[in-house]
Amino acid sequence: MRSELIARNYAETLLDLADRNGGAAAMNQFAAALDEVAGLVQSDPRVRQFLETPRVPAAEKKRALRAALAGRAPELFLRFVSVLVDKRRQTLLPEIAAAFRGLVDERMGRVRVQVAISHLPDEALQAEIGNALALRLGRTVIPTFTVDPELLGGMVVQVGDEILDGSVRSSAARLRRAMMAAQLPPSAAPAAV
């Protein structure tokens, strides 16, 4: 929990920097650069180990990050990453990226949703689902679709911590529970032989 709070504080600082130095365009640039660095840290154990080890001096870590991001990230973002290294918070890059993305989405009136569906939807269906969710949530929706062959039909939508289950399986389970809980009137009971 403590690392999430620290990551959010850094993300808020970066959002403020972006807002004061270019607004939405800077926010998008910083988000792309932050996602790139965080992706490297998460996907490549060598990068993670390089950034985590105390045996590598901070100056060398900053030089390596600057070289990796040269020409692809604004100078202000590079200075932000250097401060992270100076404060020994570079291992929080993935958490900072997630918090920053959430803050930017909130500021832009967007929400990211995960949609699990039984088959790969075509573009028209994706647009229809996105529009329906936007109407229901009252915000611009950025859906990510995944195929779950376990679903018989329908879909399961996750919005943050909330799950909207519209799958056939859950509908059938609700129907079964309702039928099992129903009381039969005395005249409908089978006659004893």
Which domains are delineated in the chain? Answer: 2-106 (1.10.520.20), 109-181 (no CATH)
Taking 70 as the threshold, does the pLDDT of residue 35 lie above it?
A: yes
Specify the 3-state DSSP secondary structure of 75: helix
Q: What is the pLDDT of residues 88-111, one digit of tens each?
A: 998 899 999 999 999 999 898 889
Task: Please state, in angstroms and rounded to a whole number, the distance separating the CA atoms of residues 93 and 83.
Answer: 12
**Ranges 12-16, 38-42, 153-157, most confident:** 12-16
pTM of the model: 0.70
pLDDT of residue 163: 79
In the chain, the amino acid numbered 7 is A
Tokens encoding 75: 């100078």
pLDDT on residue 2: 87
Contact between 151 and 117 (Cβ < 8 Å) = yes
Percent of the chain at pLDDT exceeding 90 = 32
- Cα pseudo-dihedral 36, 41, 44, 47, rounded to 10: 110
Q: d(Cα 124, Cα 36) in Å, to the nearest integer?
A: 30
The mean per-residue pLDDT over the stretch 168-184 comes to 68
